[in-house]
Structure 1
């Protein structure tokens, strides 16, 4: 009922990360860990956009092809893409060949470059972190949006970003550690270091006095 599966290694994971080796490795090693570099964050925003309407496993399997196609997600390089690059990307069977998403990724790269004048993408996105994080005990308790993801979506759109709706931005916030939606029983809960589980302090023991 909780959505947690204990693997053959004795570790508890959500059902979506329990079977497929690729998803399991992604969950164990990457999902929910802080991303605080511009290129890494641009990649995550781009992949979340391409994932819209598809499974995350599909995107992960194409990840290296995406990196090759989009110059390692270097914002400066992608921002310079022109018509020849668009044609190349639309012909690349290794990625998701969606014209709107390809165009959005190029436009988003230009928005990333422009945002440097205001402190940069990383500080901008992380400034929308909430004061508290969910503590879901079942998959049904994990939200798909939040007031912060709605605000982040609106703010990014105002800076020229596309394919950054509230649901997509909440998924981004989960993936890069801004919120911790690991199930309470998962072995990854609290592993990002952004959110620490508060535990009661041990009782203070009186020292024994000599008579």
Structure 2
């Protein structure tokens, strides 16, 4: 019974001039929106300029990581008895890296030999797992992001003249920065 009411309302709407004008107006509006969506650029498409911006952002993030590590090491060394006011420089060996999900496909094919014995040939194919976002753009599936790798740390402070203080600083920096002690240089400063 509800369908009958809806059908009668639709028939009245279509038989009146106002109803027909409304249907035509909505149709034209729909066509206009479709046209505009194809003409106007989408803000989510990945282009060369957005990839360059992403690379610049990663570099800025790496620099921020190095500065933050320098600040944390400066605070830590400043708490070591006899160290004085330290100055710290952190250098990075490589920037941060994104790790993507991969899939491997193994296949075995039997090959006929000339002597009548069959041999198996194994092959492995590795590729990235690709996903589509809501806009239909394809991207590799990111699993994690690795922090930048520290290449070395230089510390200058007045207390480094004393071997015990120098060794305490060396140990603290090595553990805090996650680098081997051979990559840490601690020298005395003049102030």
Q: Tell me which interval the TM-score lies in, with the shorter structure as reference length.
A: under 0.3
Please, what TM-score do these two structures have when normalized by structure 2? 0.21
